[in-house]
Amino acid sequence: MITTILISFMQFSIVAPHSLHRHCIATQGTLYPKNIQLVMIDDVIVYYYNSSAEQEAVVPEWLNHPEGIEFWQEVHRNLKFNRYVMDTAVRVTSEHYNHSHDHFYQAHGRCGWKSDGTTEAFMSHAYDGKDFVSFDVSTRTWTAAVSHAVFYKRKRETDLEDLVRLVIHYESGCIRWLEKLLEFSVTVREPKVPAVSLFERPPHGNSKVEVTCHVTGFYPRAVQVDWLGAEGLPMVDGVNSGEVLPNGDGSYQLRKSLTVPQEAQDTQSYSCLVLHSSIAGNITVTWAPKKNLANVLMAIVIIVSVVLMLTVLFKYLVWRRAVGKSQS
């Protein structure tokens, strides 16, 4: 469940052209890590902490220079303090609900620029995946999404020091972070062209063939991958798409599979079409039926054989002609 939440966070994080997102999860119980923290600029990971990893967050390679490290340490100090805030939130909320088993508390904060150039920021919290409270930066007010959250709303409102800290961060600090990270991450955010390959395997227990289109190494994250069938029309039936996943080097990958029924394996070709902002057109890789492929190979063999025979015949005729002239 935690992984699903993080993936949905990352999908949401690429909506704005340039924005900075903070995602924090604190848990009560033993099934999940106690704390998870993720900071992203657009769709580039700046900071990732998982308490189960038994080590502090690591400076990404693109920030591994004196000015970048100094900035990253500021981010680290801020988020380390935020772990205490999140631990408190999940504890007091669980106590309020009289919960004693596994539960989790989520916080999502974002700042960025709107299309008109003005800035915006917000923060929302959830408990066990459901809306709980939110903070309006412009009005400096907390709002409870459910009646059970009123107690927490009041708790945060009465903490004036906490209120000042939030306002300063989301009105100025967060945008300053965003500006610095845009400066530092120029090379990381350069478009990367996807590599596309196909591989197939027969599913167990039937005669269908599963063909997977593997698209990897691309950036930005947004990508469109379609399987095309007869007359170049997009396929819907038999298509299974995975999630867009990070590779660890700033690029992403996606797998999209097509199940080919037995009756179509010898007659129908299918193409994987990839559209990405790093390329002007598209990348298309075609899967050909085995029978058609065999016919093509046979035709190539026949053509090569005929060419060789004609070459030998031509050389023989030239030789005969040369011999005839020498005898005369």
Per residue in 182-225, pLDDT (tens digit) is 999 887 788 999 999 999 886 566 678 899 999 999 988 889 99
Note the pLDDT of residue 4: 44
Query: Could you tell me if 251 and 219 are in contact, meaning their C-beta atoms sit under 8 angstroms apart?
Result: yes
Whether residue 150 has pLDDT greater than 90? yes
Model confidence at 23, in pLDDT bands (50, 70, 90)?
very high
Note the pLDDT of residue 15: 37
Note the pLDDT of residue 51: 92
Note the pLDDT of residue 16: 38
Note the pLDDT of residue 319: 61
Distance CA 99, CA 28 (A): 9
Whether residue 79 has pLDDT greater than 90? yes
102 & 211 share domain: no
Note the pLDDT of residue 10: 40
Model confidence at 156, in pLDDT bands (50, 70, 90)?
very high
Distance CA 216, CA 199 (A): 14
Least confident of 5-9, 61-65, 206-210: 5-9
Residue 138, domain CATH? 3.30.500.10
Report the pLDDT averaged over residues 31-58. Answer: 87
Pick the last residue of a domain from 150, 184, 218.
Answer: 184
As given in the structure block, the two tokens for residue 55 are 């080590």
Report the pLDDT averaged over residues 309-320. Answer: 67
Report the pLDDT averaged over residues 2-17. Answer: 42
Phi, psi at 47, each rounded to 5°:
-145, 130
Looking at the DSSP assignment, which residues form a beta bridge with residue 28?
103
109 & 29 share domain: yes
Comparing CA positions, the residue from 266, 25, 274 lying closest to residue 125 is 25
Average pLDDT, rounded, for the chain: 84
244 & 180 share domain: no
Domain of residue 285 covers 195-290
Distance CA 221, CA 253 (A): 8
Whether residue 267 has pLDDT greater than 90? no
70 & 172 share domain: yes
As given in the structure block, the two tokens for residue 250 are 């700033």
Query: Could you tell me if 2 and 25 are in contact, meaning their C-beta atoms sit under 8 angstroms apart?
Result: yes
49 & 141 share domain: yes
Is the pLDDT higher at 188 or at 245?
245
Distance CA 184, CA 178 (A): 10
Q: What number of CA atoms fall less than 13 Å from residue 53's CA on the CB side?
A: 10
Looking at the domain assignment, is residue 36 inside a domain? yes
Neighbours of 321 (CB within 10 A): 10
Distance CA 68, CA 62 (A): 8
Give how many domains the chain has, as a whole number.
2
Per residue in 90-130, pLDDT (tens digit) is 999 999 999 878 899 999 999 998 878 888 999 999 999 99
Note the pLDDT of residue 32: 84
32 & 170 share domain: yes
As given in the structure block, the two tokens for residue 181 are 């990270």
Pick the last residue of a domain from 127, 153, 184.
Answer: 184
